[in-house]
Amino acid sequence: MNALLGLLFHSIGGFASGSFYMPYNKVKGWAWESFWIVGGLFSWLIVPPLAAYLTIPGFGAIIANCSTPILILTFVMGLFWGIGGLTYGLGVRYLGMSLGNSVVLGFCAAFGAVVPSIYYTIYPTVGKVSFTDMLSTSGGQLVLLGVLVCLLGIGISGKAGMMKERELTKEQQNASVAEFDLVKGLIIAVISGILSSFFNFGIEAGKPMADVANEAWKVLNPNQGEFLYQNNVIFVVILWGGLTTNLIWTTILSLKNKSYQNFTDKTTPITRNVMFCALAGTTWFLQFFFYGMGESKLGNGASSWILHMSTIILTANMWGIYRKEWSGVAPKTKWTIATGIVVILLSVVLVGIGNSM
């Protein structure tokens, strides 16, 4: 039952993550940095502590009483993830929902499973798997094979993007993806995928806070299993880091482009834009709200991360089809992107199996 509930929660979270960018497409007359930071305020500052307040009594005290090294490490992982989240938005902006998510999340899935093990090689911790442990075990070797397969899938997806670029005119490309730019988009997507994986390590780093919430809940609810919402307290700290990175960059862009004037430009639907940004930001956070619930049921952070990524890739590509991002291309190109997606999903399965061994 726990496995089924974990699968359900991760599927809901993956759908939320794969769908969150859609409301941004309804924002009219605003620069990218304007709608991205407004949505981000809901994603990283407003909704996470509200969710923690509603689900974890005394979550503020848990954070306040946590050791400084754990808080700093969790926050720093959030800073790195923030760069990944920032460039994710740019990757989708230049590549579209389908290709952008396939490349970004493929890298994110692979490195999310590997990054923690590298850290534990440098700083050995009892009960944690290091990279050298992975090299010496069949499960670890399967994870690394999955990473290589993932890179292959990303390469195939990138080839599909190049085929699309050759086949369609600039006007046809912009009809589905307004600012399509393959080279710029792929570079950004690779960076985003690698750095976005640090969210998974942030969860690992902040586990002591979740453990406190879990134990407190068990005292009040004996023999009821694990606390479903224990990870919500971790998200608050990680997302402080994400907010810091994104706020700095969008402020720089706003000052450079004078796009801060968007917020007072009455020729644009300001209230409507804010509402769509709020919807996007809240939907974004729901991915990790349900991710935390899923992980509490499955009990394996790495496998949970991989499952989460796979559902996002599937959802994002369904939206890509809905937005007709591949309409007008040759059947061979469609088969190429489909093959790339299948290979990426295969890599996700391999990493998941390897982490369960």
Kindly state the average pLDDT of the residues 281-300: 78
Q: What is the pLDDT of residues 233-253, one digit of tens each?
A: 999 999 999 999 999 999 999
Percent of the chain with pLDDT strictly greater than 90: 34
Mean pLDDT of the chain: 81
SS3 (DSSP) at 68: helix
Percent of the chain with pLDDT strictly greater than 70: 82
Question: What is the DSSP track for 260-276?
Answer: GGGGG-TTS-HHHHHHH
Tokens 């469609």 locate to 334
- Dihedral in degrees, nearest 10, Cα atoms 226, 208, 86, 299: -30
* Residue type at 65 in one-letter notation: N
Q: Which pair of structure tokens corresponds to residue 190?
A: 């690779």
pLDDT band at 212 (very low <50, low <70, confident <90, very high): very high
**What does the pLDDT read at residue 86?**
79
Give residue 254's Cα distance to chain centre: 24
**What does the pLDDT read at residue 353?**
74
Pick the residue with more confidence: 71 or 306? Answer: 71
Pick the residue with more confidence: 307 or 160? Answer: 160
pLDDT band at 40 (very low <50, low <70, confident <90, very high): very high
Nearest one of 29, 32, 36 to 264, comparing CA atoms: 29
Angle at CA of residue 14, ends 32 and 63, nearest 5°: 80
Q: Which pair of structure tokens corresponds to residue 37?
A: 């930071």
- 115/195 Cα distance (integer angstroms): 10
Angle at CA of residue 86, ends 243 and 160, nearest 5°: 160
Q: Is the pTM of this model over 0.75?
A: no
- 354/133 Cα distance (integer angstroms): 12
- Asked if pLDDT for residue 302 goes beyond 60, the answer is no
Q: What is the pLDDT of residues 80-92, one digit of tens each?
A: 988 887 787 777 7
Kindly state the average pLDDT of the residues 10-31: 86
C-alpha to C-alpha distances, 267 to 35, 222, 280, nearest whole angstrom: 16, 58, 22
Q: What is the pLDDT of residues 90-135, one digit of tens each?
A: 777 777 766 776 777 777 766 766 766 777 788 777 767 777 887 8
**What does the pLDDT read at residue 303?**
58
